[in-house]
Structure 1
């Protein structure tokens, strides 16, 4: 991306040196502080997307889709330029060897040759130069994030345990000293759970259409199982057979959970139940769930802490690192989004 000339006089003399018959084929599409994005850079960055559009979108809609993609790609280029500018301020660089290592990692991970990689890229309109520049931008962003944001995102064990329970994991309940007053009494719920998910269990990203379809199917499944549970069906057997949640491996058992460790929706659902009663269905970010209250106890806070330490934690231990990684990725994306917005807000940006 070209630096803006510091002098209009210099620009004037350069323009005078261009023959009158010469055709100017490039133009500026955005100004970002003291740098610019050119039309050729935008076209190069969007080439792969344009190739896909031409191959898959009906002719009457191509121009509309191209315009939409053009705006998205331009915004992406502006963000990349802001990252590059900030990295330059902090003297952060990416070497050719680091790019070579990144390419090799892609080859090793996908078990392909360099020739096969380049051939696959060529089919989407991307050459090696474009690909390496993309890797350079990604590596530069990663380094910048490591320096600017990494210390701002902290995932605690308690956050991981809460997420584990939200996903349907059992056991591993703990309370902190601040949450349990010494000598006080606490309500502890022993719960079973059944849930039907609509996201991809392996974590693959789904299209909005696929998510909508999956959600309707999940709703139908959970309502069917719910009626069976309300009609006296054995909850543990139903959980083992129909639930999509991790607790299904333990017949839906979540163990004994202190009330102050349940999230607001879950607590509101179970707090009015009698022992042995089945709750209504609630919607969480990725599933429909309902619960059976096995028993309610009021325990001394210290006893709750001691009992929690005896709860089975094998399932949590097995997935703890993955949950922490997932939470970290999510929080880093939020932090980066806020950081990038701050960069944009403090920058001079003008789209042509």
Structure 2
């Protein structure tokens, strides 16, 4: 224990010597200063150079120059460079972690990824490179970015993703919170399908009624009411799959109240006539049942699980990177 201060002092001395060597190389001569890149940060035993930082900020610099007011460009660029430097530090740490875990990305994997992106964009390699140039990116920088992304994905899969488990209870809890609605006493949660007739067209009213009867019969048989509303209804609620939310009996017209009040959740009303057409409703919750689910649990379980997994991934990744930084030697110069 008594040797600890000496060991720490020796360690810091070695770090200082390492940095001194870097600066000595940079300042050897004017000619060499042009050849040897300026060091902007040190991450463990690796350096980040000015050219790396410039490459990382090329695209955002291009955007700032084009869009930011002249008097704000300097401040915006300073923020962008700081963010880019932090990003490079993260990449260095992840690359070091990957090397430690013997995780690598081959040239073939990088090329395959770029080829896929290029194919989806329907561009030749020459066109693709030209589009990158317009954004301020060289193809070499883009390749390095793709390699970093693939490496990060592999390390995350190895070190984080494989350890995440989303329990059933957590999925259920999210479902109850996000997919369940509680009505006030006496309120009905309704879906609506309706059809307006053309008052200028002879026979339009009768045609509209016959069409309403056809769609009503399909709905009564149990077909997806929301899908029917979205496809056939001419009312504004069609864009919301017929969802018109909560209504109290006192807020309904006499015809509507008479059609709705006897119904139980899940039942479809008779067709009623409105001033401009015909409509009918599906009751999702009534005054004796104040809870309604937006979708059956089984149909959204996988979606919820994926969402919760992604949320947990982001949390674990942030904690993982934070821990990497705390255990690393990082010096911005």
User: TM-score over 0.5 for the alignment?
Assistant: yes
Alignment correspondent of 1:307 = none
- Of 167, 171, 174, the residue aligned with 1:163 is 174
- Of 304, 312, 315, the residue aligned with 1:323 is 304
Alignment correspondent of 1:348 = 329
- TM-score scaled to structure 1, two decimals? 0.57
Alignment correspondent of 1:81 = 92
1:8, CA displacement in angstroms?
A: 7.8
Task: Point out which structure has higher relative CO (alpha carbons under 8 A, 6+ apart).
Answer: 1
1:294, CA displacement in angstroms?
A: 2.5
Structure 1 gap segments, 5+ residues each: 171-188, 195-224, 238-249, 256-274, 277-292, 297-310
Question: Contact 1:169–1:315 at 8 Å: present in 2 too?
Answer: no
Question: Contact 1:5–1:11 at 8 Å: present in 2 too?
Answer: no
- Render the CA deviation track for 1:312-333: whole Å, top value 9, x for unaligned: 9974333332322222111111
Within 5 Å, give how 1:216-231 maps onto structure 2. 229=248
- Render the CA deviation track for 1:198-255: whole Å, top value 9, x for unaligned: xxxxxxxxxxxxxxxxxxxxxxxxxxx8996596348999xxxxxxxxxxxx9684x7
- Of 280, 304, 313, the residue aligned with 1:332 is 313
Alignment correspondent of 1:177 = none
Within 5 Å, give how 1:251-270 maps onto structure 2. 253=284
- Render the CA deviation track for 1:4-48: whole Å, top value 9, x for unaligned: 9986897698569x5555544731111111111111110110000
Q: 1:125 to 1:229 in 2, by over 3 A?
A: farther
Q: Secondary structure at the residue paired with 1:294?
A: coil
Alignment correspondent of 2:152 = 141
1:58, CA displacement in angstroms?
A: 0.4
1:53, CA displacement in angstroms?
A: 0.2
Question: Contact 1:168–1:193 at 8 Å: present in 2 too?
Answer: no
Within 5 Å, give how 1:92-131 maps onto structure 2. 92-131=103-142
Alignment correspondent of 2:81 = 70
1:146, CA displacement in angstroms?
A: 1.0
Question: Contact 1:33–1:349 at 8 Å: present in 2 too?
Answer: yes
Q: 1:151 to 1:27 in 2, by over 3 A?
A: same
Question: Contact 1:169–1:316 at 8 Å: present in 2 too?
Answer: no
1:120, CA displacement in angstroms?
A: 2.0
May I ask how many residue pairs the two structures share in their alignment?
238
Within 5 Å, give how 1:1-352 maps onto structure 2. 19-20=29-30, 23-24=33-34, 26-168=37-179, 229=248, 232-233=251-252, 253=284, 276=287, 294=289, 315-352=296-333
Alignment correspondent of 1:179 = none
For the aligned residue pairs, the C-alpha RMSD in angstroms reads 4.0
Aligned equivalents of 2:31 and 2:118: distance in 1? 47
Aligned equivalents of 2:324 and 2:148: distance in 1? 16
Structure 2 gap segments, 5+ residues each: 1-14, 191-243, 261-280
